[in-house]
């Protein structure tokens, strides 16, 4: 399946914009020109991005900003979800990909999205899907500053 990255990210930005505005948050789109179309499973990739954007909105206090970014590299495209939220403590970072893991101390998610408390499956699902799509997903985070999730996808391999 041929997935136009710029269109996918623009549609996601537009979909989450009303929710962000209702919650006094900003959601930005920051795309380099001429993003490629990649051969992948578009609905699975969308599911990953929805999980990341939902997290970013949920774990960022009002007034914060979520940015959906994309750049290209050597035979790859990098998709990023950047937030100005609470961040993830260093000792928790390696655990967030585990099923049912949620950061405990001081982490009070706002429960306006998805209607209920999270169960800690979102990122485990994200990592599994990205692996199936022959990609990689990484995170960097600074407590009190924010978190960046990066998905690297090959523009040459053929998954999906």
Chain contacts with Mg ion (rule: CB under 5 A): 55, 118, 122
Nearer to Mg ion, 42 or 109 (CB): 109
| Strand 65-73 to 2-4 pairing | unpaired
The Cα 45–Cα 56 span in angstroms is 17
Contact call for residues 71 and 151 (beta carbons, < 8 A): no
- Residue 102-121 contact track with ligand ATP, rule CB under 6 A, x = bound: xx---x----------xxxx
Site string for ligand ATP, 1-40 (x = CB under 6 A): ----------------------------------------
* Chain position whose Cβ is nearest to Mg ion: 122
Q: Give 57 or 133: the residue with its C-beta nearer to ligand ATP.
A: 57
Which is nearest to 157 in space by CA: 125, 132, 128?
A: 132
How many CB atoms sit inside 10 A of residue 127's CB? 18
Q: Specify the residue, 38 or 51, whose C-beta has the smaller distance to ligand ATP.
A: 51
Q: 22, 74, 81, 98: which is closest to 46 by C-alpha? A: 81
Neighbouring CB atoms inside 10 A of 20's CB total: 20
Name the site residues for ligand ATP (rule: CB under 6 A): 51, 55-56, 59, 83, 85-86, 88, 96, 101-103, 107, 118-124, 147
């Amino acid at each position: 399946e041929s997935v136009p990255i710029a269109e996918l990210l623009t549609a996601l930005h537009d979909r989450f914009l009303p929710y962000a505005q209702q919650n006094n948050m900003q959601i930005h789109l920051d795309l380099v020109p001429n993003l490629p179309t990649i051969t992948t499973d578009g609905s699975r990739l969308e599911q990953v991005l929805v999980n990341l954007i939902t997290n970013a909105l949920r774990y960022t206090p009002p007034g914060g900003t979520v940015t959906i970014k994309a750049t290209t590299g050597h035979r790859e495209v990098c998709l990023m979800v950047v937030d100005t939220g609470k961040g993830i403590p260093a000792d928790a970072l390696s655990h967030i990909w585990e099923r049912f893991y949620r950061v405990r101390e001081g982490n009070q998610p706002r429960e306006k999205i998805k209607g209920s408390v999270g169960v800690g499956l979102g990122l485990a699902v994200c990592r599994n899907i990205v692996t199936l799509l022959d990609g990689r997903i990484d995170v960097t985070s600074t407590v009190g500053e924010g978190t960046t999730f990066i998905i690297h996808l090959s523009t040459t391999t053929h998954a999906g």
